[in-house]
């Protein structure tokens, strides 16, 4: 089994060059390495297609995991409804994504030191 951390970015604005916003992650274990183009779903959680895959291995700490990035989301209008930043973040949280923060990175560091 492989530790897999899936990350997506929610931008604060509609601007294509906007890097402000919030990152979210989801941790899961896969029996095979993830690959670009793979979409994943678990009980209640769904990702879009994986756009990039990165392997991390740290011999000192014992960490071994894949980081996968999926398409981000940005503020937009659809059917006369404005999907603003707060709404998109709330939807991510309701969809079992977790905020990717300094604290969560520490948790991931500890978690990925454990072999599956």
Residue 50 CA to residue 30 CA, distance in Å, equals 14
* Structure tokens, 8: 């997506």
Concatenate the DSSP letters of all residues of 16-29 into one string.
Answer: TT---EEEEEEEEE
Predicted pLDDT of residue 3: 96
Kindly report, residue by residue over 52-91, the tens digit of the pLDDT.
999 999 888 888 999 999 999 988 878 888 889 999 999 9
Query: E-strand spans in 71-108?
Result: 76-78, 81-83, 98-99
Residue 8 CA to residue 48 CA, distance in Å, equals 9
Query: E-strand spans in 1-116?
Result: 2-11, 21-30, 41-42, 45-46, 50-58, 63-70, 76-78, 81-83, 98-99
Count CB neighbours of 78 within 10 A: 7
Predicted pLDDT of residue 59: 86
């Amino acid at each position: 089994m492989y530790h897999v951390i899936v990350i997506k970015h929610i931008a604060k604005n509609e601007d294509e060059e906007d890097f402000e916003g919030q990152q979210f992650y989801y941790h899961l274990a896969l029996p095979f390495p993830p690959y670009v183009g793979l979409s994943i779903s678990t009980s209640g959680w769904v990702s879009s297609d994986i756009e990039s895959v990165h392997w991390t291995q740290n011999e000192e700490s014992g960490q071994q995991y894949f980081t996968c990035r999926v398409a981000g989301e940005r503020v937009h209008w659809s059917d006369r409804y404005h999907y603003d930043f707060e709404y998109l973040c709330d939807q991510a949280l309701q969809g079992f994504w977790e905020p990717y923060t300094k604290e969560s990175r520490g948790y991931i560091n500890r978690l990925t030191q454990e072999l599956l």
